[in-house]
A and B are shown apart, each in its own frame.
Chain A
Amino acid sequence: DAKTTQPPSMDCAEGRAANLPCNHSTISGNEYVYWYRQIHSQGPQYIIHGLKNNETNEMASLIITEDRKSSTLILPHATLRDTAVYYCIVRVAAMDSSYKLIFGSGTRLLVRP
């Protein structure tokens, strides 16, 4: 699976958009980009995933560059409860269960009041 690079920490003001970048320059054509977050002492929570097109759901938006070498997770209106470690993960698309999610170091996002 491709390796990802994320800044170790970021902060943003409550109510503002949080833009979390991720570099995955060695990504292959069939590898998806996944985002999870982990609030202290809890299991990771799925946020969103995408392959080529930008994606949006009730939690966030995912913007993937045209060359797919980087992506940005956008939390449109960050709240204090969004303070967490955010993980960007690349995995191979498969219909069976033969993939693995390998976590990098993630970005620690602090939302300030």
Chain B
Amino acid sequence: GAVVSQHPSRVICKSGTSVKIECRSLDFQATTMFWYRQFPKQSLMLMATSNEGSKATYEQGVEKDKFLINHASLTLSTLTVTSAHPEDSSFYICSARDGRGGTEAFFGQGTRLTVV
């Protein structure tokens, strides 16, 4: 199946700093990417939908100024957690769908963010 790569897999940052997470589709072009957040023992929660070349669409309750999403190319989307706080510590996962019409979405391996 198609490969979606996230980087970094783990990151620890100090409270108040910003962290950027990259999501790349390695063998296909992804016109749309999705960003999820998952707290321990909970399900994935969709944060936003990222469309190449346009502004991301955020789910209700997700602060767009805190979670900056950029999808500048068909193979790369980034999520920046700005002014991170300990409550932002979570597992962040991206997903991408092949823009040529594939129906299933492929997920990255996730990024474990710890804010200290």
Contact = CB atoms under 8 A, between A and B. Distances in A.
Interface in A42-82: 42-46, 49
Secondary structure class of chain B's binding surface, majority of residues: strand
A62 B54 CA distance: 36
B43 A100 contact: no
Interface residues of B, number: 28
A53 B109 CA distance: 31
B104 A102 contact: no
Contacts of A103: 36, 43-46
Determine which residue in A43, A105, A106 has the highest number of CB atoms from chain B within 10 A of its CB, and name it.
A43
Give 6 nearest A-B pairs by CB, closest first. Answer: A97-B32, A43-B107, A103-B44, A46-B104, A44-B107, A103-B43
22 contacts: A36-B107, A38-B44, A41-B110, A43-B6, A43-B95, A43-B107, A43-B108, A44-B95, A44-B107, A45-B107, A46-B105, A46-B106, A87-B43, A93-B103, A97-B31, A97-B51, A97-B97, A100-B34, A100-B46, A103-B36, A103-B44, A104-B43
